[in-house]
Structure 1
């Protein structure tokens, strides 16, 4: 029986524009998104492209600055004349880009906007299953996990960056913890991109909480834990919101650190369509650019999901018109690496699917809820 040949995309490229924080304090994590985006562009072009045309990815550096993201999306739409856009990494740049997208009526799919209630633009869609109220669902998944250990924490400190989504989640963590009887000894904030955690570390050591929750981004968690080590103090049980996954996992201070996730490269997630291929391809590409941690994770998969949504919606709608693409997404579900996503809930969000992972032997492993834990892995309390 002859093999079925799929026609290669031909004709004028479909230009898809976006920014990532290739420099600045978000660069460690944005590098992961860049690899995943490039993987997906090649994958889509290896099929039938978008509407039979090849995809050209126009990527610019927003330098981890929302105001730069705003200017660059304006440029992408009005000067570069891209056909479609994709969202950047992190809440502040996403919100800046979303304002531009709304002005021009562009669909914007994004993977990491942590404050869903601010996604009021009807043509903005999440590619990661945060759910519509992560300030409630995230903290309670964490508190459920902590309630399962032999000595559940009775006290905690909430420390957070002033980055919008981190503050939002920190306030939620404080409220939910107090509602469940965990005493919040301190609520502290620091400037985004902070490098000096000495004074904060001294206050944490003095408070000595049973549980430390850190609303961090990028390398902030590494710097905090280093500052604590210099004081001969290690937090008992500690959670980090959005750290650079590789540096924290490989750090001598990162052992047993907890973090949020939506999947990791173990079962049951590796049985999802394409995951084994994505994991192998990501590892190869990450090694080539000397990323310290070459294992695929939820950050990379957020960008994969973005492109899966775009490819599915454009080809199913049969159009590059933003109105038609948005209408199709609102009325349908899309199969992604995160499972089947729907967009008919508040702020175009669907179901929440937060998980907790932990560094064990310098690798991130899902530990909670138990039914999603990696085979043979369980939460280790400090």
Structure 2
């Protein structure tokens, strides 16, 4: 029998991943349900074909054209004009986050987040030998800013990661809370600054993977990157905002994530990136997709409307459904959420068992997919009437508590 020297902290661990099942309606991994058009596909294919002619050469190491195109996109999407030197990109936001923790985490450093939240954060920390600490959220999934500040003071983290909108709850952070957390992070990082001057700031990462789905009037943390001090220095040099082309852009198969931050922070990430980490083909495909940003983003408004209608419908049926700024909704509670999940699966609908006990998460699909989800959910739960308002909500919660 072969015995391999697996790291002790990895023993017994399973690879990350949601179920990959071949069913008619897949609403479990928060994908955009609309594929790219033939025109987009043709332009991506042409760009990749052109790039393939130079595959005997290494790709651009620091991605100048792609970073400039992403900066231009953020200006259009969020009204935030950044220099290309403030943008970093990698193979999905997963690799971007890994770069952050490779640069700022490691042995003796701590990563802090607040649960429930994205389940990969502790794995990023584990894989970079970074200690992970998870504080609690309130019952409504918001953050107690005083408690956050106290936890930062006590733990002295190198990195704080906060998803906004949060996964799996869909809740966005108010801008005032982000500013308060940035202030709390000042001078409260590890006591091992490079120049020996004492405690440094901790890096605050706002994960906006679902940022394009936020409701009108909900600001992006990107706006805080444009603020400067009287001398022109960035006011929040320890802020990083991550985005992805996987969700609203409908390019999950491309695996392209990116980050916006101060130039100083981005340059530190360049230290830990592998040589030529983003292939020439990935860069070409991403640039071609960005040329069609208006078309690829055209479904966002309809997906928002579908999401909001889903929240209203779930509440009318008597469940708790939380307001969402993402492309998914967390709903429940169920006495046996696994049974509900299995019942939906038997009817060809795949959603996700994730988040607080008793709750399920469903991604927003096409109108046809959502109608099939609603029909299946009513059949599985035996709900036959669409009651309205607080009475329905109260009745359903009490039924589940007493089940």
The TM-score bracket by the shorter chain reads 0.3 to 0.5
Question: Which is greater in Rg?
Answer: 2
- TM-score normalized with structure 2 length: 0.31
